[in-house]
Each structure stands twice: as structure tokens, then as C-alpha cells.
Amino acid sequence: MHELKVATERKTQLLDVTDRVHAALEGAEGSLVTLFVPHTTAGVVVQAAGPGASAVATDIESALERLVDETWPWEHVHEGDRNPWSHVRTALTASSVSIPLENGRLALGRLQAVFLAEFDGPRERTLLLAVTR
């Protein structure tokens, strides 16, 4: 098991962690890696990035903020929760993804990248990586 610590900078942020995941997996042998985010207000997604797709993460951030409005009358604020919208935004992403490994590298498509999806930042997040042989 590998563990990555990632610092986010904004309340809602898709942060490309692909290079950090590659570095953490260096020397690992296996055919599949599962990335798991052990947080209820953050997720992980595979999405487009790079030339021709550099604004995709920003568009997704904006869309999730519009889809899940912070000003709605949230029920679980009565239980003391200060960030109910972040739980719903997280539910629209994933807590884990599995990606095949090819020669120890993520077998991503040409424009694909791995993003940590932050919905209650800024803060430090943990990403757990489990390699299957």
C-alpha cells in the first residue's frame, strides 16, 4: 500500500495528481492499481487534461458548484455539519478508481489524467494506492 499526501488550495478543486501517482508507483509490480480517497468530502476522478483539454477541470469545478448549491436548505446542518454540499458533490464523483498498469505505469488514454476532487478545502488529503499483482 502506498500513501500520498496532497495539499489542496481551494474549496472546490480538481487537482491533477497523475505525476505524483506515477512517482509513488515507481518500481511497483502488478497489473492494476486502485486509488482510494478515505474522505467523505473529497473524491477521485479520471478526466481529460493537457493540450486541448486544459480547462476541463475548471469547467467540472464550476459545474459541480452550480449543480449543488451551498445555499440550499440542507437538513444535516441541524446535526452540526458545516459543509453539507461537499458531501453531495463528493457523491457525484467516486471514492475510488481502478486503473490497469502497463509496465508499471498507469494505462491511461492520451488525454486522461487522475484528479483528486476537493470539495471542502483547502486542506491536506490522503490518497491510498493499492497494487494488485
The residue ranges of every structural domain in the chain are: 2-132
CATH of 2-132, one of 2.60.120.460, 1.10.10.10, 3.40.50.800, 2.102.10.10: 2.60.120.460
Distance between CA atoms of 3 and 11, rounded to whole angstroms? 22
Per-residue pLDDT, 111: 93
Q: In what order do the strands lie in the sheet with 112-118?
A: 13-16, 112-118, 42-48
pLDDT digits (tens, 9 = 90+) for 61-109: 999 999 999 898 988 878 887 899 999 999 999 999 999 999 889 999 9
pTM: 0.94
Average pLDDT for residues 28-35, to the nearest whole number?
Answer: 94
Per-residue pLDDT, 12: 96
Residue 31 has pLDDT above 90, yes or no: yes
CB burial of residue 92 (10 Å; 0-12, 13-18, 19+): middle
Distance between CA atoms of 77 and 126, rounded to whole angstroms? 25
